[in-house]
Structure 1
């Protein structure tokens, strides 16, 4: 199937979005302009000592960033985003030289309070991310030029276009250049566009599903149970079928 697109197949099957956001609670976001490989942290234009350092970090998920259109600098922008309360605490710095990352004390970064829109665009990982994500990033950059970044793998290629919003942590899916402005405007107003929301990053899948259920007007007195889902092709880049997860919402009084 040379023209297979995982995002189109997922949408056609009406695969549920809820419960598919990142579960990582500590993210390190590093500006790395230029092309990224399939394994972006190891395959990029950063110097070898920096790549090795980032790949060896324990307990921190590393995402690479670049500006829409390919601009970069001055300096190398770094963000750290850690789960705190119902969202994330974001801190930042600008390094004169990317090699400074090797000895960077992450506790010295300064608070960053403005919104960040991180759009997955790594086409070497999956073509849907590039084809759908890059036009989305371009649209957002006109409204939020400082807060919009292209990023590496957020998980869930098949939900492209996909986006991580910080500091809320909400991860969005099935976006396109036509709807993304309205969806992000809603988030900035403090609303949650549940129909495009995969969940809040940093939570287990069951907690993501329960939160979205409540935000959609459902009762909080429920239990969410994870079950093995059907095998499906999850990426344009690989024909391999992988297991998915399905979530069942039960009344708390159910057996």
Structure 2
């Protein structure tokens, strides 16, 4: 019998803030069919394509994910969609490229992504939603992710994708909103709809917010805690100006609309007892974050 790490995380009341996987650049390739624990290597991708994607992930660097339609609605054929984009504090974007065959990946030049520039795709106007369902990486991703992906089909149609591992197994179901790189965790079919409705309306669902992928974990936590304390839901309500660190304390200055500034200080705590971080791994002690100062500057 599986001890579901995501269920145990919920039971002990673990909050997901400050846990969004770090990523500023994205490369997302449609690859129908099954994926293994290492999705690039354990799928039907040609070996040369998998090797190229792995090389780009290190060299650009770029976060590479595989995508498939919820429920496997699209049959495995030659054509593929590929998305590239950037999640940044300002000016996030996403673009799409239609490939006649998956091997056309080998003809791409993705080096412009290093500087946040287009690789020649068509700009995507509406947000995409990625739900991690890679059950071979962690059973919780499939158990809690698949119902989330299926539920969002009725809400955003072909803008929702199942994706390979995004990190944070114990927070499944996990949702990534692109291009802004907003992560949500501990979602079910109903709360996922709430998170997506908020994102579509330019707001953040604070109850399940993990953080922005473009920021370091303590900065993500500072934003989430400040938003919770002040009830700030607007996606653009806070923008990081600068960050100062002194040991386990981070002082983050945010800009607010109208020119106001907000100073937020958080302390990283490392005194949590060991607990399951994945279904198959050994227990570990995850950091937590405490808000110790908040004031307008």
1:248 deviates by: 2.3
**8 A contact 1:87–1:169 mirrored in 2:** no
What is the aligned partner in structure 2 of residue 250 from structure 1? 292
Rg comparison, structure with higher value: 2
Equivalent position SS for 1:221: strand
Structure 1 residues 164 and 193: CA distance shift in structure 2, 3 A: same
What is the aligned partner in structure 2 of residue 79 from structure 1? 83
What is the aligned partner in structure 1 of residue 67 from structure 2? 65
1:42 deviates by: 1.5
What is the aligned partner in structure 2 of residue 208 from structure 1? 220
1:76 deviates by: 0.7
CA distance in 1 between partners of 2:221 and 2:172 (Å): 19
* 1:1-255 equivalent positions in 2, closer than 5 A: 2-57=1-56, 58=58, 59-72=61-74, 75-86=79-90, 88-106=92-110, 107-218=119-230, 220-230=262-272, 231-236=274-279, 238-251=280-293
1:71 deviates by: 2.8
1:43 deviates by: 1.2
Structure 1 residues 131 and 224: CA distance shift in structure 2, 3 A: same
CA distance in 2 between partners of 1:199 and 1:164 (Å): 10
**8 A contact 1:119–1:161 mirrored in 2:** yes
CA distance in 2 between partners of 1:205 and 1:87 (Å): 21
CA distance in 2 between partners of 1:197 and 1:224 (Å): 17
1:168 deviates by: 2.5
CA distance in 1 between partners of 2:292 and 2:229 (Å): 15
**8 A contact 1:173–1:197 mirrored in 2:** yes
**8 A contact 1:26–1:60 mirrored in 2:** yes
CA distance in 1 between partners of 2:294 and 2:178 (Å): 32
1:27 deviates by: 1.4
Structure possessing the higher relative contact order (Cα contacts under 8 Å, 6 or more residues apart): 1
Q: Deviations over 1:69-97 (max 9, x none)?
A: 11336721111121233463111111001
Q: TM-score of the superposition, structure 2-length normalised?
A: 0.79
Structure 1 residues 56 and 3: CA distance shift in structure 2, 3 A: same
Structure 1 residues 74 and 136: CA distance shift in structure 2, 3 A: farther
1:252 deviates by: 6.5
**8 A contact 1:210–1:220 mirrored in 2:** no
1:137 deviates by: 0.7
The CA RMSD measured in Å over matched residues stands at 1.9
CA distance in 2 between partners of 1:55 and 1:109 (Å): 21
**8 A contact 1:42–1:55 mirrored in 2:** no
Structure 1 residues 141 and 10: CA distance shift in structure 2, 3 A: same
CA distance in 2 between partners of 1:242 and 1:142 (Å): 38
**8 A contact 1:87–1:167 mirrored in 2:** no
